[in-house]
Chain A
């Protein structure tokens, strides 16, 4: 069963990730009173990028971008196979570091500025991700995704604060305004395209493929909060993911981009208050 899920992720995640981005863009357009692109637009974009000439600034860049894709896919496979959730998060961070290094290697001011901001974002959201892993352990006595997913009570019952914190940092991870400092999907961008400025053609296609995998994985972690051994909890998990994603798109359209220090402070405050207090109360109750 776990192997089927892992292979299913490998094949279906790009499809779901692309559709998710398409739905995201349509939803965004409707919120702004526009008609918006067709639902399949991300796939058209991907096809176009593959067919374009690729201007390579530095050959190391290609290798590093491939590293980004490989480690994101590895993290996702491990998650769906039911492996250690700590290892999933570490592999995801490693993938992120590969991506940051690739934009550092381009030797362009915009791209390296994007890389520095991405590092700041990493610093902002990483504590919450680790707290989420610890929270799952305290709630279910296991770091194993398989055991967390088949526990008798869904983790959200024990971890409402950590859930809020995780959705909060997902705004950073999914590159949504107000925290889309390093690179943005919108046109209003003060440093060209940030991280992906120097990437073009099929290298950029690899980046967006990796981002589709990453988004599916990150949204799946939301689902992990809701899931337990029963079949109907899967429906609950999908509903939870959809609502959380809608809220994130809404936030994206409502708030303007903030400076890095505001991002840092607000994320750490939410991490400490929502995550920390949640863990403390759980410790007190279970003792």
Chain B
């Protein structure tokens, strides 16, 4: 059995136009149904494995995103959904936008698109899930080294 069989997802809307958010929600609806892979939309950082962020990071939501990330127990994966979350998108040069999510958090998977299509998001989730297993393995090895 693998950790990746039950990835619980936390969705945070940075400063998105809601286009990507609607596509993320569409993934959990009957047509795409990510619960097939055991994905649950939790809304609680302490239960989450995958942090899914849509929209760029601005000065106001920076501490929020950092806090959410720090509250998630490891192993955890960050997925940036949509071009705004990847590098700021059309808002890149705005005075209040710091840039993509990777200006604040270590992003593992980038899902481009405006808005990102549900197929692309599901693909991103599947890749994120594979990463979870790897991270679990390195976590275990780190623990062993600490023990020695």
Contact = CB atoms under 8 A, between A and B. Distances in A.
A36 B36 CA distance: 5
Nearest to A194: B44
Nearest to A47: B1
Contact of B33 (A34, A51, A196): A34
B49 interface: yes
Q: How large is the interface on A (under 10, 10 to 19, 20 to 34, 35 or more residues)?
A: 20 to 34
A47 B133 CA distance: 13
A187 B43 contact: yes
A147 B44 CA distance: 46
Given A41-B38, A45-B38, A47-B3, A197 B44 contact: yes
A104 interface: no
A55 B6 contact: no
Interface stretch (B67-75, B77-85, B103-111, B116-124): B67-75
A41 B49 CA distance: 16
A44 interface: yes
B136 interface: yes
A211 interface: no
A259 interface: no
Contacts of A189: 43
Interface string A190-218: 00110011111100100000000000000
Contacts of B71: 55
Contacts of B3: 47-48, 51-52
Interface string B14-42: 00000000000000111001011110111
A48 B30 contact: no
A200 B76 CA distance: 13
Contacts of B92: none
Contacts of A286: none
B44 A193 contact: yes
Contacts of B35: 25, 29, 34-37
Interface residues of B, number: 26
Contacts of A187: 28, 40-43
Interface in B97-148: 136, 139
A35 B73 contact: no
A54 B46 CA distance: 9
A187 B35 CA distance: 12
A41 B6 contact: yes
Contacts of A51: 3, 136
Given A37-B35, A52-B73, A204-B47, A44 B42 contact: no
Interface string A180-191: 000000010100
20 contacts: A25-B35, A34-B29, A34-B35, A35-B33, A35-B35, A36-B35, A41-B38, A43-B1, A48-B5, A51-B136, A52-B73, A52-B74, A52-B75, A187-B28, A187-B43, A193-B43, A196-B47, A197-B44, A198-B46, A199-B46
Interface of A: 25, 29, 32-38, 41, 43-45, 47-48, 51-55, 187, 189, 192-193, 196-201, 204
Top 10 nearest A-B pairs (CB, nearest first) are A44-B5, A53-B73, A200-B46, A48-B6, A187-B41, A45-B6, A44-B6, A34-B33, A33-B30, A193-B44
Given A41-B38, A44-B6, A52-B73, 10 more contacts: A33-B30, A34-B30, A35-B35, A36-B35, A48-B49, A51-B3, A53-B73, A55-B71, A193-B47, A198-B46
